[in-house]
Amino acid sequence: MPSAEEIRDGQRAAWAGLSASWEKWDTIILDQLGPVGAAMIDRLGIAEDQQHLDIASGTGEPGLSVAKLAPRGRVVLTDLSPEMLAVAARRAKAQGTTNIETKVCSADDLPFPDATFDSVSVRFGYMFFPDLARATAEFARVLEPGGRLCASVWIRPEDNPWTTIAMQAIATAVATPPPDPDRPNMYRCAAPGFIGALYERAGLRDVDEWDVGIELVTRSPEEYWEMTADHVSLVAAALRQVDEPARQRIRAHAIEKVSAYAGDGTVRVPGVARCIVGTR
Ligand SMILES: C[S@@+](CC[C@H](N)C(=O)[O-])C[C@H]1O[C@@H](n2cnc3c(N)ncnc32)[C@H](O)[C@@H]1O
């Protein structure tokens, strides 16, 4: 079993390498993941003076959207990766959002006193944490009594062709070992009730979960491949293991499969995420 430090070091290195791609493909990623952020924010009940903590903020969402709804409040964007948070800070500046600050830290060791925040969000971060129970206990600790936690995770691969097309193409060229439940992987939190059980163990109440559909929209099958190969952590990591000729075969395979989703000058590949809310 990998140590927590080993997992954190691996994640720091991976996201330092992915940050430029997330910035490059920002508009497409924002559109794809926007419905999940909106669904999470809806259940957090953001007030004008909300004190909000966004965990694993990456390039800033949904924290930056919360900041716009809380002009008299404050949002702290946190992430393990300084490179990802630097993109978030640039995006905040470009949008003229000033009621935010960034803090590099790991989700399982938060540098904030107890009961500091009215709400906590974690969009697509849980699957990367070394110790999921410890991280959830930290989220509960920093919440005010009555404050809400809302997270989102990816559900089954068969419901997410936007990544399975790429992963199946990779599997034609390289052996992909079954995922290790003790290491980060995209579908680690997919089982119904998985995150809800962590919330309940951390003392949260009124736990509820629901699914939200998304769509990855690109202008062509080629653009689908380029952006997926560039920024999806699982895909980018698998592609690093193969040589250029294999990469070209994988690319051709993925482009052929994703073409089934093309029409009207766009390619629209669906997916489904699960949101989980709970109250301290
Ligand atoms: C898929 S990105 C999600 C970014 C953003 N929340 C969004 O939905 O667009 C996952 C983020 O988790 C961060 N991460 C990985 N391990 C972490 C940890 N132990 N603590 C905090 N953040 C972590 C990564 O650096 C990366 O920015």
pLDDT in tens, 110-131: 999 999 999 999 999 999 999 9
Cα–ligand 1 centroid distance for 240 (angstroms): 20
How much is the pLDDT for 142? Answer: 98
Phi, psi of 271 (to 5 degrees): -165, 170
Pocket of ligand 1 (CB under 6 A): 8, 11, 15, 33, 56-59, 61, 79-81, 84, 106-107, 123-125, 128-129
Q: Which atom, in ligand 1's list, is nearest to the CA of 19? A: 27
Q: Is the dihedral of CA 137, 151, 191, 28 positive or negative?
A: negative
How much is the pLDDT for 177? Answer: 78
Give the residue extent of every domain in the chain.
4-279
The CB-side HSE value for 256 (13 A sphere, CA atoms) comes to: 8
- 130-163 pLDDT tens trace: 999 999 999 999 999 999 999 999 999 999 999 9
Cα–ligand 1 centroid distance for 186 (angstroms): 12
How much is the pLDDT for 180? Answer: 85
Contacts of 36 (CB under 8 A, 6+ apart): 123, 124, 152, 212, 214, 273, 275
Which residue, among 182, 54, 199, 206, has the nearest Cα to 119 in the 3D structure?
A: 54
How much is the pLDDT for 156? Answer: 92
| Cα 89 to Cα 206: distance, rounded to the nearest angstrom | 34
| Mean pLDDT taken over the chain | 96
How much is the pLDDT for 181? Answer: 83
Cα–ligand 1 centroid distance for 220 (angstroms): 28
Q: Look up the CATH number of domain 4-279.
A: 3.40.50.150
- 185-229 pLDDT tens trace: 899 999 999 999 999 999 999 999 999 999 999 999 999 999 999
Question: Given the structure tokens 């995420």, which residue do they identify?
Answer: 273
Nearest CA to ligand 1 atom 9: 61
How much is the pLDDT for 1? Answer: 83
How much is the pLDDT for 234? Answer: 85
Do residues 74 and 52 lie in contact, with contact meaning Cβ atoms separated by under 8 Å? Answer: yes
- 18-77 pLDDT tens trace: 999 999 999 999 999 999 999 999 999 999 999 999 999 999 999 999 999 999 999 999
How much is the pLDDT for 175? Answer: 83
| Cα 58 to Cα 36: distance, rounded to the nearest angstrom | 15
**Residue ranges of the alpha helices (H) in the chain?**
4-24, 26-44, 63-69, 82-95, 132-142, 161-171, 194-201, 221-231, 233-239, 244-258
Q: At what angle do helices 82-95 and 4-24 cross, to 10 degrees?
A: 40
Angle 160-10-228 (CA atoms, 0-180°, nearest 5)?
Answer: 30
Cα–ligand 1 centroid distance for 263 (angstroms): 33
Report DSSP letters for 229-243, one per residue.
HHH-HHHHHHHTTS-
Choosing from 57, 112, 214 the residue with most ligand 1 atoms within 8 A of its CB, the one to mutate for a pocket test is 57
